[in-house]
Amino acid sequence: MPSQLIPISFIEALGGGVIAIALLFVFISLIPSLRGHSTRLLALLLVASLALFSNHWATYFAALFIVATAVTELEFLQNLAAIIRGNKEYFQYKKEHLSREQVEQKVEEEQKQLNAEENHEKQTITQAPVDVHRIIKLEQEAMKRLEIHFGENIERNVRIDIGSRRFELDGLIPSVVDDMKAETLIEVKYLRSPNSFPQFLRAFHRIEEMARTYMKARNKIAKLHIVLIVEGDDRLRDKQLSELKRLVDSSGVAGGYSVFSTKELSVDFKT
């Protein structure tokens, strides 16, 4: 029996050493502050030791790919897998979700642009404070309301590459079966007050063109749904709502709209 525990090759000895190190990380993972990194290292070491014990080229390849997922950018690995499979279509259509930092940067840039346009109209220079995290929470709450309205899950903060074109969507309800149901593209805009509505009107044609370009590049039918979040107790003035309805109804892209005030969206979370 003891002789069975003695490694018969360098590979087995190396695998045993890796397992011994992995056992060390089992105890380290009990420390809350180190649990995340130690658990990941434990998993990687176990994968490496299993590959060593199996001593087969296919297991080595699988282990290399698994370990690479922990230390390499996901997009690189996806590209590599597509090359190995010979999947040319993958490079024509790729979908991923924006990171938290990318979402925050996007919201901040949109608000800076809105502030710059308002300053240009008023011929003044002011720097309105931007609470990016609050705006993101408001947008998330609006998406929850829309999921109830549509009765479907919404993919949020999606980036889609179609050939050489790139689209960043606040929300997407994809078509499960091609050409059987239109996709829904959701664009969310936060307005600091009803007075910011003219800035949205100028942006609408850009949003409309984005949707039209998406349909052409994707070769699919899509609808555009506009979501406005207006700071304060009121949504929009009656005249503004009429203008929004006219704009959406006369658009070359089929769609709809939803308008929320920050007061009604703030009910479910603390600002």
What domain count does the chain have? 2
Considering the domain architecture, whether residues 191 and 248 belong to the same structural domain is answered as yes
Q: Domain limits at 118?
A: 95-268
Considering the domain architecture, whether residues 63 and 110 belong to the same structural domain is answered as no
Higher pLDDT, 194 or 22: 194
Considering the domain architecture, whether residues 17 and 109 belong to the same structural domain is answered as no
Q: What is the DSSP letter of 73?
A: -
Q: Residue 235: count other Cβ atoms within 10 Å of its Cβ.
A: 19
**pLDDT tens digits along 54-113:** 777 677 666 666 665 655 555 555 555 555 555 555 555 778 888 889 999 999 998 888
Cα–Cα nearest to 199, from 254, 130, 138, 121: 121
Query: According to the model, what pLDDT value does residue 186 have?
Result: 97
Q: Which of 51-60, 76-85, 119-128, 174-183 has the lowest mean pLDDT?
A: 76-85
Considering the domain architecture, whether residues 48 and 103 belong to the same structural domain is answered as no
Distances (CA, A) of 199 to 47, 52, 55, 228, 239: 54, 62, 64, 12, 15
Considering the domain architecture, whether residues 122 and 248 belong to the same structural domain is answered as yes
Q: Does residue 160 lie within any of the structural domains?
A: yes
Considering the domain architecture, whether residues 149 and 220 belong to the same structural domain is answered as yes
Considering the domain architecture, whether residues 35 and 128 belong to the same structural domain is answered as no
Q: What is the DSSP letter of 222?
A: E
Considering the domain architecture, whether residues 167 and 257 belong to the same structural domain is answered as yes
Considering the domain architecture, whether residues 115 and 228 belong to the same structural domain is answered as yes
Q: Does residue 87 lie within any of the structural domains?
A: no
Query: According to the model, what pLDDT value does residue 67 have?
Result: 64
Q: Does residue 78 lie within any of the structural domains?
A: no
Considering the domain architecture, whether residues 174 and 52 belong to the same structural domain is answered as no
Q: Does residue 3 surpass a pLDDT of 90? A: no
Q: Does residue 80 lie within any of the structural domains?
A: no
Considering the domain architecture, whether residues 37 and 128 belong to the same structural domain is answered as no
Q: Does residue 108 lie within any of the structural domains?
A: yes
Considering the domain architecture, whether residues 141 and 257 belong to the same structural domain is answered as yes
Q: Does residue 217 lie within any of the structural domains?
A: yes
Instruction: Give this prediction's pTM.
Output: 0.65
Distances (CA, A) of 53 to 5, 8, 18: 13, 11, 11
